[in-house]
Amino acid sequence: MLNNLEILFAPAKKLAELNKVQMEKAVASQQAAAKEYVALTEARIKAASAIKDIDGLNAFVKDQVELAKSSFEKVQADSKVLIADAKSYNEEVIKLVQEGNAVVTKEVKATVKKAAKKAA
């Protein structure tokens, strides 16, 4: 049968490592985003509780509008990075699957050839 299991499973191991790295990156990104949102919420609560008059309210509302604008821009930029990462990941997965298929095909052909020689 297939003698060289290490070669056969090498692409699968690479894929598992790629998935592990991708998951770690995703978790780290989510943790960073959560920390940012907590800090932002705390800052906005502090700013809201500091409102003492109409001028303070106007300044707070103006800040909220600017915050919404900058947050939207950040979401757009983050989305572009996410799309680029997903594209890169997908390309790597396809490459590893193709590599795995090539290894399996090579090993199966070698095994069939050996079996044919033994049968002859």
Would you give per-residue pLDDT tens digits along the chain (120 residues)?
455 778 878 888 999 999 999 999 999 999 999 999 999 999 999 999 999 999 999 999 999 999 999 999 999 999 999 999 999 999 999 999 998 888 888 888 888 888 888 887
Measured in degrees and rounded to the nearest 5, phi and psi for residue 4 equal: -100, 80
In a domain, 75, yes or no: yes
In a domain, 49, yes or no: yes
Give the CA angle between residues 88, 92, 24 to the nearest 5°: 70
In a domain, 3, yes or no: no
**Domain range spanning residue 108?**
25-112
Measured in degrees and rounded to the nearest 5, phi and psi for residue 93 equal: -60, -45
What is the pLDDT at residue 54?
Answer: 96
In a domain, 17, yes or no: no
Q: How many CB atoms lie within 10 A of CB 116?
A: 9
Task: Report the predicted TM-score, pTM, of the whole model to 2 decimal places.
Answer: 0.69
Answer positive or negative: Cα dihedral of 86, 91, 92, 96: positive
Query: What gap in Å lies between CA 99 and CA 111, rounded to an integer?
Result: 18
In a domain, 58, yes or no: yes
Total number of domains constituting the chain: 1
